[in-house]
Chain A
Amino acid sequence: ASGAYPKRVKVVEVGPRDGLQNEKNLVPTPVKINLINMLSETGLQVIEATSFVSPKWVPQMADHTEVLQGIKKSPGISYPVLTPNLRGFQAAVAAGAKEVSIFGAASELFTQKNINCSIEESLERFEEVMRAAKEASIPVRGYVSCVLGCPYEGKISAAKVAEVSKKMYSMGCYEISLGDTIGVGTPGSMREMLAAVMKEVPVGALAVHCHDTYGQALANILVALQMGVSVVDASVAGLGGCPYAQGASGNVATEDLVYMLNGLGIHTGVDLQKLMDTGTFICNALSRKTNSKVSQASCRL
């Protein structure tokens, strides 16, 4: 049954990183910087700026230092960056990063295929980052991939998600973002997974990162909100396809999320019109249509 909703939700904008990283077309550095600057004007409080990963693996993020140094950082807005290891962390801090993110997974096979080691080993690698971050007083956000299903393993047990989340939280991550990486989750599996995770991590430290590959994202987010989650990741214009299903969509569109939250009377602080304008800008730059249905519709209300 639908219980009470949170009064406020923090929207974490992942378009410039997760979005652009998974787009076919590359955008030049000035366009990335302008995108982030426009997003900074919308009321969003958290904008994931880039990823300090080797350009050999992720060429779309090769300009990470220029982007982080080039953006106009608004006070009160956080610009976290991905740091897959200690070297990336150090480069990020040198470039001015004040918050970083690390990535775990609830699937052994996914971890193996993605970064060539086990979940246990990947978390050991991150211990170094956690230690350095603690010393530098830099907050660390933890992501858990494949929380509702894995492209290789298929079904993922809620207990495994809870176990990995607990580890990352105990290591010192202030927030754990639970990612439905291939978008296969439904309100049923979302509820089951969250119930397990909430036994190990306080709900105030949880976020959901839903992909819309099967059209389930907003319904899944709704259930998460009903269970007390108040941090939701999204990507402007729904940037970022799914690398595991060619041509299929990936991230949920921030515009569509904000539209829903507005309708629920939940405060986000985000100006939907400015957000849509930003989406229009980046879609033009990418020569692509928006994935946001709110943007596509032109009904007046």
Chain B
Amino acid sequence: QEPQASGLPEYIKIVEVGPRDGLQNEKVIVPTDIKIELINQLSKTGLPAIEVTSFVSSKWVPQMADHKEVMRGIKRHPGVQYPVLTPNLQGFHSAIAAGATEVSVFGAASESFSKMNINCSIEESIERFEEVTKSARNMNIPVRGYVSCALGCPYEGNVVPDKVAEVSKRLYSMGCYEISLGDTIGVGTPGSMKKMLEAVMKEIPLSALAVHCHDTYGQALANILTAVQMGVAVVDSSVAGLGGCPYAKGATGNVATEDVIYMLNGLGINTGVNLCAVMEAGNFICTALNKRTNSKVAQASFSTATIN
């Protein structure tokens, strides 16, 4: 396959969100040393970016209470980014003190979601993030911006593409180097993905866009393919598909990194990631969590191996 000939990107950066987005949304809380081991294993797979933890109050997110220890405890590989979530200035300072060299902020394209999640309007949240990006700029710390509910909201239902574009533009203008567009409840389809990206691409350069698809309705890979066909070259995913959907009990959440890589390999797109190594890391964390993997590639590979 020649991806360039087909109009697809030659290289796609995979942003691994398992240790943060994944573990934050798992029922079982994982001990600090297991988290550190997971991240260390992921660091050896070729993944260029691994979201480590979240500097948020442990009152709100107990799963991430050990953020300092995790940040300090991991073995950082050269050339790998280790971003952390920082919901406000306090979290930002705490992250820097613990050694963080990249941070992320989370906006939403839905007012209701913003109010229910962080108890303030989109505008107020943007003001909070501006404090973070200002400090970050002074310290040369890159900031990644997330936009939740890009293809639908658990409270508002339909989300207008222009709203996603507006919030993305705000985050980009304040200094976020990359905007990750999240289908938070996984309701999106290739149809809504295309419409949303077309609106956002009017405001943000393609190279600054990422997609963060949830597989709650089984649409993630089809949605990612659509984004990639439109030129998006950064894709978020979670090893073993860690992290269920907090809005649909028992339903899945993040798309599995293994399944994304399998697809991109088949398209001849380079990711730099060793699929087998990711499957091993996935196996490790699923064993620790005492759960089955959500990755179909891992399931099939393990099954075939045992039969042979």
Contact = CB atoms under 8 A, between A and B. Distances in A.
B228 to A, nearest CB: 9
Interface string A199-236: 00000000000001111101101110000000000000
Interface string B81-124: 00000000000000000000000000000000000000000000
Q: Say which size band chain A's interface belongs to.
A: 35 or more
B256 A188 contact: no
A94 interface: no
Contact of A301 (B187, B218, B230, B267): B187
Contact of B216 (A247, A293, A300): A293
Contacts of A189: 266
Contacts of B256: 215
Interface residues of B, number: 52
Contacts of B296: 212-215, 248-249
Interface in B233-268: 245, 247-252, 256, 259, 262-263, 265-268
Contacts, number: 146
B251 A247 contact: no
B275 to A, nearest CB: 11
Nearest to A260: B189
Interface stretch (B70-78, B126-134, B151-159): B151-159
A75 to B, nearest CB: 32
Interface string A254-269: 0010011011110000
A299 B247 contact: yes
A37 B185 CA distance: 33
A298 B304 CA distance: 32
Contacts of B79: none
Nearest to A294: B217
Contacts of A253: 218
Interface in A188-203: 188-189, 191-192
B222 A246 contact: no
Given A216-B266, A301-B158, A248 B299 contact: yes
Interface of B: 1, 6-7, 152, 154, 157-158, 185-192, 194, 215-219, 221-222, 224-226, 229-230, 245, 247-252, 256, 259, 262-263, 265-268, 295-297, 299-300, 303-304, 306-307
6 contacts: A187-B225, A188-B268, A215-B297, A219-B222, A248-B300, A301-B157
